[in-house]
Chain A
Amino acid sequence: MFKETTLTMALLTGMAASPMAQAADAANADTRTRLLAATCNNCHGPGGQSLGAAPSLAGQDRAYLQTAMMECKTGVRETTVMRKYMLGYTDEEIAKLADYFAAQK
């Protein structure tokens, strides 16, 4: 179920972010959150826009993003690598990452 959802999201949003859009979005975040979020780009695509099976994060609903990340952390959601990732971040950082990616276009 989770896999299907992520694949669909990837198809819907599978476009590369333009350089200008990325620059404008980046300028609006505090630098620590921006740097933390940049770590997510490796798997979730530049600016959170995924080109593959990993879900896109850009422009998703803020509450949904936070809930999803927290469910990965607590193990409610079955994951391959995301639980390990979320355990490395504080709940406050996860909230800020949700803010950040919800604000991306």
Chain B
Amino acid sequence: MNPNRRQFLKSSAAAGLSATTLATTFSSHAKAQKAQPHVVVVGAGWGGATCAKYLRLWDPGIRVTLIEPNPHFTSCPMSNWVVGGFQDFDYLVKRYDNLPKYGIQMVRDTVTGVDGAGQMVHTQGGRKIHYDRLVLAPGMEFMTENVEGYAEGAQARKVMHAFKAGPETLLLRKQLEAMPDGGVFIIASPPPPGRCVSGPYERACVAAHYFKQHKPRSKIIMLDGHIDVVSKGPMFKAAWKELYPGMIEHRPNNLAVAFDHRTMTVSSEFEDVKGDVVNIIPLQRAPGLCKDAGVRNDALDRWCTVDFTTYESTSVPRVHVIGDPVMSNMPKSAHVSNNQAKICAAAIIELLHDRQPEAVPVIGSTSYSVTSDKTSGSIAVVMRYDPVKKVYQRQPEGGANAKHSELEFEYGRSWHENMWADTLG
């Protein structure tokens, strides 16, 4: 709510103005906003859908509009199952049908601009939507320009990131199926921060699982921009050795900087590697929408800095950012996006009622990576906000398990069912 208007309402009340007088003082539009504040959420992924749902669950007095261009939800977690051939693509796709049951107004449109001063969102469909609070949950975009030749290669369908679940997930699966036995599959991944740091290592596992059964002479070369297998490292390395000996070669400190699709050659600063199937996951940043809105505000123009108790932008008042675009020491994962969404929703409710938001929020982060069609390994960390240091502190003994297991596979599948239900159900 506009502070000036709030001030005016308070002074009006103090002056003993009747409700009737107030009603005639303000336009019906303004009156409706006073009666029912409006929160607009952009992006119905793990963060945005959760935020919209919990806003309505916890305060049915708030009007919530959720803007999303896609007709269905497609899950990035488990998309490696499709790459490995464990599941059909349809397994990843869920409907948005339940969200309107919470009183969320779903708008299928693309947000093209944010007017922070005017508290207005503009869409491709020509809508202009006023908000009292705005939540941006648009995921991330790839800095494909950092890999010379990537755009041409992608156009020729010779390279893909397959790191936003969708057509590229299937493209990668089809290329692995078409690859001859004895072929080379290159996975080039960036250093953090970026989405799902363990995803590339899991991808190596599912591809190796498939090759082992159908193309056992094939090889996987990982060109890793990071210094080591830092996420779940001991677990992945043990699983590779146990299940796929000699098949996966991990080359750290080897960020891909160029790709020539005519020769199928990936170049890092140190070497050129030729592959039959090439998967390059470029560096990422908060999407252009965040930049346009003025909330992509870190020194490198990559991420959005926020107040960690409310997820409100440090640059633009009343605009909150959750999920991948947030600059923090938290993993960029579905689990974290969902948890940030709840903290943000709870804070917005308090702010709209002129109360103090929770000062010490707690975030949980769990992620499961499959190592085969029967085994998984997990990481679990609790992070608690430290209001003095203004950072989320990892709690003792959080981290990854050193061994994968069939039990973790069951819990991983359970995690996914419950995450879906919590976010969309």
Contacts and interface: CB of A to CB of B under 8 A. Distances in A.
Contacts of A19: 57, 98, 101-102
A84 B418 contact: no
A50 interface: yes
Given A26-B58, A80-B407, A88-B384, A53 B362 contact: no
Contacts of B38: none
Contacts of A43: 366, 411, 414-415, 418
Contacts of B380: 81, 84-85
Contacts of A50: 414, 418
A52 B409 CA distance: 12
A42 B339 contact: yes
Contacts of A40: 364
B410 interface: yes
A85 B346 contact: no
Interface in A84-105: 84-85, 87-89
Interface in A1-56: 3, 10, 16, 19, 22-23, 26-27, 31-32, 34-36, 38-46, 50-54
Contacts of A45: 417-418, 421-422
A87 B383 CA distance: 11
A35 B413 CA distance: 24
Interface stretch (B112-120, B225-233, B395-403): B395-403
Interface in B143-172: none
- Interface SS of chain A: helix
B382 A80 contact: no
* Chain A interface size range: 35 or more
B346 A31 contact: yes
Interface in B368-425: 378, 380-384, 395-399, 401, 405, 407-408, 410-411, 413-419, 421-422, 425
Contact of A53 (B98, B102, B411, B422): B411
B418 A88 contact: no
A39 B343 CA distance: 9
A35 B343 contact: yes
A102 B342 CA distance: 21
B73 interface: no
A31 B363 CA distance: 15
B60 interface: yes
A10 B414 CA distance: 10
A4 B25 CA distance: 65
Nearest to A52: B414
Given A38-B342, A45-B418, A85 B407 contact: no
A39 B418 contact: no
A31 B415 contact: no
Nearest to B401: A80
Given A23-B57, A34-B346, 4 more contacts: A32-B358, A43-B411, A84-B381, A88-B395
Interface of A: 3, 10, 16, 19, 22-23, 26-27, 31-32, 34-36, 38-46, 50-54, 80-81, 83-85, 87-89
5 contacts: A35-B342, A39-B363, A52-B417, A81-B401, A88-B384
